[in-house]
Amino acid sequence: MYNALGELLYENRCIQGLTQDQFGAKYHVTGPAIFKFEKGYVKPSLDLWLKMAKDFQVHETRAVLMWVKSRLPEEYQDLIQIQDSPLVLEDETGAKGRKRRDYAKISDREEIRRQISKDPKLPKELKHFLRMDEIWSIYKPTGREINLLRDRFSDLGKGSDDAFREALRAIRMFTLKK
C-alpha cells in the first residue's frame, strides 16, 4: 500500500539533511516515531500532521484530505482524488490544480536553490536535475526558466538529466531576445 504521508515526511527530512531523531525533535516526537510514520506502520495525529504539512508548504485542506485518505482501508482510498477534489481551495490551485511556486519572483540564485530543495510539489526528476552543481555553475538557470521547465516539460513524464538539460537549451533558444 502506498504511504503518501510517509513518502512526504521522508522526502522533506532528507531535503533538510536531518536524521529521524533530529527531525522528530522539531515536532517533539522521537526518531523511532518518525521511522514508523515514514514506513506507514503508524500515522501521525492530525494535529501533528498539520504542523508538519505546513512546514512542507502543503495547503491545510490538502493535508487534511491526505490524512483522511491515509486512514481509510486500502480498497476505499481511490475514492478520494485529492488532485482534482472540489474541496481543494481555489486560492491554492494554479495550472492543472496545483499551486506552484513562482521562481521568477526570486532574484537570488542561492535562494532559488533553497526554495527548490523545500518544494514538495516540484517533480522529483526535475528537482534532481536542479540539485546538480554543474547546472548552476554552467547554465545558471533563472527563476523564469525553472518555471518553464516545470510547467512545460515535467508534465510530459519522467525526464532524465539530459532531457532537462536539452529542455533548458530549447527554452533559451525560443526566448532569446532579438
Whether residues 78 and 110 share a domain: the answer is no
Q: 174 exposed, middle or buried (CB, 10 Å; 0-12, 13-18, 19+)?
A: exposed
Per-residue pLDDT reduced to its tens digit, 102-122: 888 888 888 899 888 888 878
Give me the mean pLDDT over the 16-23 stretch: 93
Domain span at 35 = 4-91
The Cα 47–Cα 159 span in angstroms is 36
Mean pLDDT on 58-78 = 82
Give the orientation angle of helix 124-131 with respect to helix 109-118, to 10 degrees: 150
**Considering the domain boundaries, does residue 155 fall inside one?**
yes
pLDDT at 94: 43
Residue 125, all three cell numbers: 526528476
Residues 109, 60, single domain; the answer is no
Instruction: Give the count of domains, the chain.
Output: 2
What's the rounded mean pLDDT across residues 90-95? 40
Distances (CA, A) of 173 to 44, 53, 159, 169: 48, 38, 19, 6
Asked if pLDDT for residue 73 goes beyond 90, the answer is: no
pTM for this model (two decimals):
0.48
Q: Is the pLDDT of residue 68 over 70?
A: yes
On the question of pLDDT at 11 being above 80, the answer is yes
